[in-house]
Structure 1
């Protein structure tokens, strides 16, 4: 009986998804990232012909491509389930080309979390390959080549071998330099604060901060003014004229974007970006949990979106109500 072939990027992800779909009806294979790319030995962009990319099959992927072609040929349907971003869309586009799929066919599926419900829902809602996302990835790749392959050799000649320039790091270097100039040009202003530790009539500790004279806020620009205020309040009794109570509503923290996840991991755990993304990738692809099997524990890790899926909302709500 012919099965349906599903192609993902990661072997670990393939293993998790095959468990959800069942081996009897589905075969899940991994492309292990890109299968076609620009050649390393030359620019690989036809500047005279509308900057047309000149793709080749990636060296070392020959056996994998043969295997994917073999599986696609004997399958009744092929679904391309690469990551839900422009890079993943481009990989699906390249796979469709290599496997001879009709790019107008609804062969593309996507999901933002690796759960059984999400995978089965994706299978029921295939779509066409989004050529706009593919073009966005190609534009980025071409820019990488035009900058990196043509500017980096200049750095090797003028500065030092091994340096590289590119679409992102060149701009980032300029931003860092501009910021450093601002820091160097900054003229610091002196300011002081007065903090008082006092006790109430019931011998309770209380912390106070100087605001100003009467009801007017007062700046403390130098030590002389601070000392004059300290002389005025020295050995004086502090009188509380009024107490104002406020109720504050604190919103729950929003889901992480990729950059915020990296920042928090660095600040709280001293993780490098590489370590953070490696751990996040494992959590996304699936962890083997006792009595549950392999389960994806977080949503897709490369995103600027803070949206939460309806399934995640419902699961969270159920857990909170059960735990209360």
Structure 2
């Protein structure tokens, strides 16, 4: 007797899910999108509510044929593509290709045994709002790229003799190019300015070595970088003192032998909250800053970790954590550091992004127990980063 069929995107994820479900299901990977707009025509009817024609992608014919064959024999078809708008569109395209009416949609935000069992218990239909969101993005891509690229090339080729090859416009790349041009124009009009300040390295028998900055002279504050206009390089604040190199050197000679007096010491209590858990963009930023990974490489590593069940879904704009995550993080704090460092209540974060969808929780180690593994492999370094910001 045929097993129920689960369709996912990744072969690696298929193997993991099949193992966790004790081989009671057949898990098949469609390897990403199976349908798209045809390459050599617009395929968008702008006069008919932008109706789009999607066709089976080149090279995906055998996969679609296999899906049709397997789904026809299966008592049930479960669509477990990625939990985002791209995954939802893939699920919708699969529905169009299969004849089996016993079909449902599930979502796995983490590829752990608990996460898969929870997802399998929450069957629902394909979310057409998400599907339409993906269709809209794809249609805009096509209209901008297909319509404007040729016009851009023909226009610039006539006016700029150095344009030899083809040029393209795009929904994202054209906007990004505008930002680059704007920044270049600001750079072109920037006027650099030079300012000087003084720093002293001090020590005595009672105090360890410490640094001191010259703040003011005769009650007049010295200019610092924030006092200059970032666009023009000109001093924008009145009442501050701008000293020259000669004046700075003269002050060094004058102050060299002191006397130096610590007139007062102030101690102020300071509290700080941990950084918010990772979203997709903050994970990419931190991976670039700390381990010098490109955004593309970071997402490739994160995808592997998600598919192997080590972290939650890596495409998210949410900084919220589930109750399972909060419980797991608090258990780690208690185990490693004791009750002294365990706060009474977890810190709750609220997104400052107005249009944040927050369909999934933040990126974190998957499961209810956060394994701590130190290593030098690229996947482990990204995994360590994801755990670093799951702090309460």
TM-score normalised to structure 2 length: 0.73
Distance 1:249 1:229, change over 3 A: same
2:149 to 149, 152, 158: 152
In the TM superposition, what is the alpha-carbon distance from 1:106 to its structure 2 partner? 7.6
Aligned to 2:176: 172
Aligned to 1:117, what secondary structure does the other structure show? helix
Partner of 1:311: 324
Identify the residue that residue 379 of structure 2 maps to in structure 1.
Answer: none
Deviations 1:164-196 (A, max 9, x none): 211000111011001111121123343222110
Specify the alignment match of 1:257 in structure 2: 279
Instruction: Report deviation, 1:255.
Output: 2.4
Does the residue aligned with 1:14 lie in a helix, a strand or coil? helix
Aligned equivalent of 1:191, options 184, 192, 195: 195
Deviates more, 1:134-143 or 1:255-264: 255-264
- CA gap of 1:31–1:101, structure 2 versus 1, over 3 A, is same
1:206-258 CA-partner distances (Å, limit 9, x unpaired): 21111224776443412255345445533112211211112322322322222
Larger mean CA deviation between 161-170 and 29-38 belongs to: 161-170
Query: Which residue of the partner structure matches residue 62 of structure 2?
Result: 63
Change (3 A) 1:66 1:225: same
Match of 2:296?
Answer: 274
Give the one of 111, 122, 127 matched to 1:125.
122
Comparing 28-37 with 55-64, greater Cα deviation is found at 55-64
Query: In 2, are the aligned partners of 1:106 and 1:127 still within 8 Å (CA)?
Result: no
Is 1:234–2:256 an aligned residue pair? yes
**Retained in 1: the 8 A contact 2:305–2:311?**
yes
RMSD of aligned C-alpha atoms? 2.3
Aligned-residue offset at 1:303: 1.9
Q: Aligned partners of 2:218 and 2:74: how far apart in 1?
A: 83
Aligned match of 1:222: 243
3-state SS, counterpart of residue 202 of structure 2: strand
Aligned equivalents of 1:215, 1:307: Cα separation in 2: 48
Are 1:136 and 2:117 an aligned pair?
A: no
2:18 alignment partner, SS class: helix
- 1: CA distance between counterparts of 2:243 and 2:66? 76
Give the structure 2 partner of residue 17 of structure 1. Answer: 17
Aligned length: 312
Q: Is the 8 A contact 2:77 2:103 kept in 1?
A: no
Task: Please name the residue that 2:270 is paired with.
Answer: 248
Q: 1:261 to 1:87 in 2, by over 3 A?
A: same
Q: Distance in 2 between matches of 1:215 and 1:120?
A: 69
Query: The residue matched to 1:110 in structure 2 has which SS?
Result: coil
Query: Is the aligned partner of 1:323 residue 2:336?
Result: yes
Ranges in structure 1 where 5+ consecutive residues have no aligned partner? 287-295
Report deviation, 1:319.
2.8
Distance of 1:61 and 1:218 partners within structure 2:
67
Structure 2 residue runs without a partner (length 5+): 158-162, 224-240, 338-392
Structure 2 CA distance, aligned partners of 1:99 and 1:247?
65
Alpha carbons 2:76, 2:103 under 8 Å: kept = no
State which drifts further: 7-16 or 62-71: 62-71
In the alignment, is the contact (CA less than 8 A) between 2:106 and 2:122 conserved in 1?
yes
What's the counterpart of residue 293 of structure 1? none
Moved more, 249-258 or 85-94: 249-258
Cα deviation 1:68-119 (Å, max 9, x = unaligned): 12222222322211111111111111111112466xx882211221111111
Structure 1 residues 133 and 232 mapped into 2: Cα distance closer, same or farther (>3 Å)? same
Kindly tell me: are residues 163 and 262 of structure 1, through their superposed partners in 2, closer, same or farther at Cα, counting changes over 3 Å? Answer: farther
Displacement of 1:12? 0.7
Query: 1:155 touches 1:161 (CA, 8 Å); kept in 2?
Result: no
State the 1:270 CA deviation: 2.9
